[in-house]
Structure 1
């Protein structure tokens, strides 16, 4: 962990304290597939969200019709306000198609759909996966703290170190060289913006 500030401000985690963040004004969006439901990682995430006590947890669910009920029943077992947005529901697919929004499906679209619902319910939104292997009650407050202080966007990141190995090859070997190549070929502010993030693919 270094203390250097790059072009995008980094609030480093030098301790385990959770900042005073407005979790009571926030929706936590958790994209999930039927495969994630009842996994150890997802159990830990939702049990931890009970401690965080956000205004709402919105699960952007991609599941078959046969699985939706089981997932919803499992989520009801957690003591946190939870809402399920069934992103692969046939009526939703028909509606999106009629609006000319029937593009590729996947986690990105599920999050996009959930952001619209969440923005109508609360003024602050945090997004994270259901399969986070290392998850603590401090994560959501740390994501929300900058938003409560007037920032429009915040993003969490971490260096992945396991079994004495440093992971993150996709970032080092693909993302960074790709953004550098784009910067060489295009003088666009968005490329500079993308290059300024640390661990841009995390979170």
Structure 2
């Protein structure tokens, strides 16, 4: 697993390096704030939301010195931010934790709604190479690894265009891959 996170940080930093300077960023499922902080070189103000009080405490402690970052406790369905108010939205490892397909589609819709026109969306998830794959581990971990085609189609349906994708690592005997994606929300023709 250390290789997974090392590669994820490497590719995320490569994406961030090529982004323009931006005013506002949102991290949905910010966890300990590590990936949120990687956006600091390009984003003036960042806010992160997560459902884990423990991870948020760590994020707040680790980044207390950084006034441009704020962390809040909220479920993905209850993030109290205005639509179309962010230049970049980051969502790493969240969609595979949303088992119900209607909730997954709603989450993708929310992500697209939070992004203003001409904004970027960075997504990181484990996806299936073929059909949707439900993992129900004896440890209690449950995940839905959606098919790559379905995942990308859902993002396209919500007005997001794929700019680039990076394979981080294959897993589950080659049935899944952890990937990082950069999407763009183009301006609508008025």
The structure with higher relative contact order (CA 8 Å, sep 6+) is 1
Which one has a bigger Cα radius of gyration? 1
TM-score (norm 1): 0.35
TM-score (norm 2): 0.37
Structure 1 or 2: more strand by fraction: 2
